[in-house]
Amino acid sequence: MNTGNLRTGHFGIDASLVVAGLTGLAVPFLPFTFDVSPLDTIDGKWPEFWQLGAPFFLTFLVSAASLRQLVCCRPSKAERAIAYTVAMAAAGIVISVTVRMVLGEGWAAFSREDWFLAVTSLAILLLGTGLLARRLATGGRKDQCPIMALQVAYLANYVGVVISILGTPETWQSGAYVALVTAVVYVAGIFMAPALKP
């Protein structure tokens, strides 16, 4: 456990983001639409949608890592390796869903909404990977990078799921709104962190 160089200059901002991000812990258990929650997609009720539900469980890792970093220490090498591995797996799920959607329906069958969904999810992954690589290369708050990797994978999945049900906002349920709050907090953390001195 590396307890050296703990950040104290911007503790209030970090604490606010961590506390606001804890809303994400409820997301896997709340219904998004038609009474289906991310938990329902992996516990056998809606197994065909597990790829859409599983990445919402990233909120547990993001919250645990953020809290631990806030109160005690920077992530160890093993913790960083776990975070990057899980983030890559979740990103792989997002890419897999997008590719299977394209290949399954065929290019010609794609609607404008389908294209927007596919392009937006992949663009978030590419943009997030670019921001992550830049932060790792230029210094700054590198201790935030493992958390950022998890947040980027969550955001790409979230956008894909929300866009797919966006056409029917009357069917949105609490999970979609709580996930939106979590997504906004994650975006704020990703873009505010570079502006804060390590």
The 10 Å Cβ neighbour count of residue 76 is: 11
| Total domains present in the chain | 1
pLDDT digits (tens, 9 = 90+) for 93-110: 988 887 777 676 555 556
CB 92 within 8 A of CB 129: no
19 inside domain:
yes
Bridge partners of 172, per DSSP, are 33
107 inside domain:
yes
For position 2, what pLDDT does the model report?
A: 45
Given a cut of 90, whether residue 3 has pLDDT beyond it is no
108 inside domain:
yes
For position 5, what pLDDT does the model report?
A: 40
1 inside domain:
no
182 inside domain:
yes
66 inside domain:
yes
Given a cut of 70, whether residue 168 has pLDDT beyond it is no
C-alpha closest to that of 198 among 61, 69, 85: 69
Distance CA 158, CA 153 (A): 9
Distance CA 75, CA 87 (A): 15
For position 57, what pLDDT does the model report?
A: 95
- Report in angstroms the alpha-carbon separations of 96 from 48, 89, 99, 124, 156: 14, 10, 5, 15, 12
6 inside domain:
no
166 inside domain:
yes
Distance CA 147, CA 75 (A): 10
**Residue 34: CA count within 13 A, CB half-sphere:** 6
Domain of residue 69 covers 11-195
Dihedral pair phi/psi, residue 8, rounded to 5°:
-130, -20
Tokens 């812990």: give the residue: 25
- How far apart are the two ends of the chain, measured CA to CA in Å? 19
